[in-house]
């Protein structure tokens, strides 16, 4: 199963590394490896959340997510998205933006001799609105999960009272709006207040719209327990499968914001970013998602979904905080891994405790 699930990712990795070496030599090869590791470390919580949704989709829509979805992830978010940012910020067309990316100023300067900004500078300047949009989308996802009553709790001391508080109608919107207001007025630079507010509101609207479409075609499973994101779908097909696929793509895009922006701290070359983040990183994230679904890991380790959502909440707050202060990508990755690792360890402890109780009851 390991070879079948991860075989394509290993093959794509080898090809990508060869292309990187032919494109830019040993340095490009090294940067490609670093970016691949960065993407996987930042997106493991993404794989867990994807798996919770993907397991409710029909086989057809699972294949669409793994084929069409990977093309969107690689070319859409890791290659086209940065070019769109440059186009929006500078008015340059796609071809001119790509030329700007492939021909940076000498000696890694932020500006060309004529005073025009570099590709990397334009991307960095757009960070506040990108972080506001992605941060609010992920924050809404976290709040939707944590403010819902459920039978199983990981951090019982906080999840149980938050679940009860979630009975207040639209509480997640209220909390998210307050945090956005604080972010825009306290954290964001003075010249970015309105930009951050608009981007954050758009992030909230996007989540509400896509999540609402998922719930519109909700097919409850017997004994179903509430979950984050769109409501659980019993092997969703047709329109239900399409909107769930749409949700996954928007979710993947939101997760990739920090990785794409963080990649520019390593290199501004769009080809290397596409190879490292897209072909290597995104492929392995997809493979991890499939592995979790095929192995039934989420049902066996019941706290993993909780840990992933707490990691999402942490990532959302980090994105919002990074609007005013740079946060090293290693911190973002370690926080997510630590929370998911703790949830995994707690799941193992719970399983052993349950087995011990069952053995004692049967003796």
- The reported pLDDT for the residue numbered 265 is 66
User: What is the rounded CA–CA span in Å between residue 221 and residue 233?
Assistant: 7
> In sequence order, what are the residues at sequence separation of 6 or more whose Cβ sits closer than 8 angstroms to the Cβ of residue 92?
86, 100
Q: Output b/e per residue, 257-286; b: 16+ Cβ within 10 A.
A: bbbbbbbbebbbbbbbbbbbbbbbbbbbbb
User: What is the rounded CA–CA span in Å between residue 11 and residue 283?
Assistant: 10
User: What is the rounded CA–CA span in Å between residue 216 and residue 265?
Assistant: 41
3-class DSSP state for residue 187?
helix
316, containing H or E segment: helix 304-321
User: What is the rounded CA–CA span in Å between residue 242 and residue 290?
Assistant: 18
Question: pTM of the full predicted structure?
Answer: 0.79
Torsions phi, psi for 184 (to 5 deg): -70, -35
- The reported pLDDT for the residue numbered 233 is 41
- The reported pLDDT for the residue numbered 16 is 93
Going from the C-alpha of 275 to that of each of 13, 101, 350, the distances in angstroms are: 9, 15, 40
User: What is the rounded CA–CA span in Å between residue 348 and residue 301?
Assistant: 7
- The reported pLDDT for the residue numbered 227 is 46
pLDDT in tens, 6-40: 888 899 999 999 999 999 899 889 989 988 887 88
Low-confidence ranges of the chain (pLDDT < 50): 219-234
Largest CA distance in the chain: 83
User: What is the rounded CA–CA span in Å between residue 283 and residue 275?
Assistant: 10
- The reported pLDDT for the residue numbered 356 is 87
Decide: residue 329, CB within 10 A, 0-12 exposed, 13-18 middle, 19+ buried: buried
- The reported pLDDT for the residue numbered 187 is 94
- The reported pLDDT for the residue numbered 241 is 75
pLDDT in tens, 44-65: 777 888 888 888 788 888 888 8
Torsion angle of the four alpha carbons 122, 123, 124, 129, in this order, in degrees rounded to the nearest 10: 110
């Amino acid at each position: 199963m390991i070879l079948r699930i991860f075989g394509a990712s290993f093959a794509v990795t080898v090809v990508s590394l060869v292309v990187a070496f032919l494109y830019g030599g040993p340095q490009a090869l090294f940067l490609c490896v670093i970016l691949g590791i960065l993407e996987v470390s930042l997106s493991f919580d993404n794989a867990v959340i994807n798996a919770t949704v993907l397991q409710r989709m029909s086989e057809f829509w699972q294949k669409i997510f793994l084929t069409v979805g990977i093309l969107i992830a690689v070319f859409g978010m890791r290659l086209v998205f940065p070019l769109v940012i440059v186009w929006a910020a500078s008015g340059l067309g796609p071809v001119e933006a790509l030329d700007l990316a492939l021909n940076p100023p000498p000696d890694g300067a932020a500006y060309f001799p004529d005073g025009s900004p570099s590709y990397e500078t334009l991307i960095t300047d757009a960070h506040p609105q990108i972080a506001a949009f992605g941060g609010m989308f992920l924050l809404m996802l976290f709040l939707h999960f944590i403010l819902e009553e459920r039978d199983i709790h990981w951090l019982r001391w906080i999840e149980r009272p938050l679940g009860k508080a979630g009975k207040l109608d639209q509480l997640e919107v209220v909390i998210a709006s307050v945090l956005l207001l604080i972010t825009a007025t306290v954290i964001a630079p003075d010249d970015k207040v309105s930009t951050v507010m608009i981007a954050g509101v758009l992030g909230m609207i996007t989540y509400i719209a896509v999540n609402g479409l998922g719930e519109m075609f909700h097919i409850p499973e017997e004994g179903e327990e509430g979950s984050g994101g769109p409501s659980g779908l019993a092997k969703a097909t047709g329109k239900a499968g399409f909107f769930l696929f749409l949700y996954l793509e928007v979710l993947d895009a939101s997760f990739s914001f920090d990785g794409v922006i963080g990649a520019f701290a390593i290199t501004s070359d769009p080809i290397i970013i596409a190879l490292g983040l897209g072909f290597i990183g995104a492929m392995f994230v997809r493979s991890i998602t499939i592995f979790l679904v095929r192995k039934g890991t989420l049902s066996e380790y019941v706290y993993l979904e909780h840990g992933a959502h707490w990691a999402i909440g942490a990532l959302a707050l980090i994105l919002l905080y990074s609007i005013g202060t740079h946060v090293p990508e290693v911190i973002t990755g370690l926080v997510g891994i630590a929370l998911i690792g703790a949830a995994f360890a707690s799941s193992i402890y719970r399983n052993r405790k349950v087995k011990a109780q069952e053995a004692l009851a049967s003796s």
